[in-house]
Amino acid sequence: MVPVKLVAFGFLAAAWFLSPAADGDVVYACVNQTAHMSCDVDHKITLNHILYKVGIGTRCGEGKRHPDDGPDQFCSFPWAEMVVEDLCSKKRSCEVPVTKLVFGEYSCVEETRYLEVSYSCTKPPPPPPPAPLKPDCEEKKEV
């Protein structure tokens, strides 16, 4: 009976490892677009990596669904991670507009800049148990 349980556990572990929540997802948003992230009920967004990049060529702007062509050049925008974490970390869903209003002035002026966010949906840990009751420190007076 034990080998059957181990085999069943192996299949469950493989199914969990290959599930989208375990692998995560990557979303892209070009300038003046919005990155959308969402998880199922009872799951929260866990951010894996956040990059603000400048693509070379037609990465954004010519009807491409995902910016997936040409080499990348990183744009120096140190606050991108903080912006995305503030808007999305540990939430069920979020939207990140890639605009000057949200990210501020860009040091990169090319229109091919874009945001890339990799995230996973994870179930938050259960809440901690309630604190134990404080013992009665006062000695009871005997009457």
Write the DSSP assignment of 2-36 as a string of letters.
HHHHHHHHHHHHHHHHHSHHHH-EEEEEETT-EEE
pTM: 0.63
Is the Cα dihedral 80, 81, 85, 89 positive or negative? positive
φ/ψ (deg, to 5) at 124:
-65, 155
Q: Give per-residue pLDDT as tens, 14-34.
A: 333 334 444 689 998 888 899
Q: Where are the domains of the chain?
A: 20-122
- Which residue type, as a one-letter code, is found at position 117? V
The CATH code that applies to domain 20-122 is: 2.60.120.740
Q: Give per-residue pLDDT as tens, 52-93.
A: 876 655 556 554 445 454 555 555 566 889 999 999 999 999
Q: Which residues are within 8 A (CB) of 76 and not within 5 positions of it... i.e. 6 or more apart?
A: 107, 108
